[in-house]
Chains A and B, each alone.
Chain A
Amino acid sequence: MSSLHTINKSTAHCAMTSCMKALQSGDSILLIEDGVYASAQLSQYNIEGVSIYALREDLLARGLPTTQLPGAIQAVSYCDFVDLVCRHQRCVSWT
C-alpha cells in the first residue's frame, strides 16, 4: 500500500529528513516548489526501492536542470503529478 510523499522545502528545513523517516519500499517522493532544490542532495540518503520525481515547472522556474538529474530523479509535469497521486494509495505532504 504505497504512498506518494511530496516535499516542498529545501534541505535547510527538516521536511526532507522527516519524510525520509516515514518512507517504505515502494513509496515515491515528488519534489515540488523549493523541494526541487533538494534534487542534488537526495543521493546522500539511503532510499532503496523509492522512486524520486521532481516537478518540471518548479525546476525550470529555478534554473535547475530537467534532464540527467542526479540519482535517477525524473522530471515530471503537473499532469504526471495527478497520475502519481492516483497510482499511490495516499498522499503525504511534508512542509
Chain B
Amino acid sequence: MSIDNAKTITFISRSTPYGHGRAKACLDMVLSAAVFEQKINFIFMDDGVWQLKKGQTPSNIDAKDLSAAFAALPLYEVNDLYVEASAIEERGLSLDELVVPAQAIESAKIAELISLSDVVFTL
C-alpha cells in the first residue's frame, strides 16, 4: 500500500487490560494500522491507562502480557502515545509507573488530536 494515501488514525483505548478483551483488540488494530504505515495516535483514556502500568504479571491468570507489547510499539514506528492526565491522577498513578514513555495531555489536546484525524477508533 502506497504511503501517499496514508491517513491519520487515532485510537482511543479506554478499557482495563485483562478484565475484558477490548484492550487487546485495540492494540491489534494499532499494530495492523502500523503495518500499513499510517500516521497513528494512540491515546489512553479512563481505565485504559491501567494498560500501561509497570509490574504486570498476567501469567498468574494465564493471560498474555499486554504491557510487553507496548514496549515494542516503537519498532512499528508508533511513537505518539498519549495518556489522559486526569485519568492518571485520578487513579493515583504517575508517569514513572508506565511501561513506555507517554505524553500526559489535557482534554483540550485530546479534542485537538481528534480534530486532526481522518479516522478515530475507540475500543
Contacts and interface: CB of A to CB of B under 8 A. Distances in A.
A93 interface: yes
A2 B46 CA distance: 23
Interface string B80-123: 00001000000000000000000000010011101111111010
Contacts of B112: 24
Interface residues of A, number: 16
A2 B114 CA distance: 9
Instruction: Say which size band chain B's interface belongs to.
Output: 10 to 19
Contacts of A3: 114-115, 120
Nearest to B48: A18
A1 B120 contact: no
Interface string A69-95: 000000000000000000001111111
Nearest to A94: B122
Nearest to B107: A21
Given A18-B14, A22-B107, A22-B110, A90 B45 contact: no
A1 B113 CA distance: 11
Contacts of B46: 14, 18
Interface in A1-41: 1-3, 14, 18, 21-24
A91 B119 CA distance: 7
B120 A92 contact: yes
Nearest to B22: A95
A23 B111 contact: yes
A27 B115 CA distance: 9
Contacts of A89: 118
19 contacts: A1-B115, A2-B115, A3-B114, A14-B14, A18-B14, A18-B45, A18-B46, A21-B107, A21-B110, A21-B111, A22-B111, A23-B111, A24-B112, A24-B114, A90-B114, A90-B117, A92-B114, A92-B122, A95-B122
Interface of B: 12, 14, 45-46, 84, 107, 110-112, 114-120, 122
Interface of A: 1-3, 14, 18, 21-24, 89-95
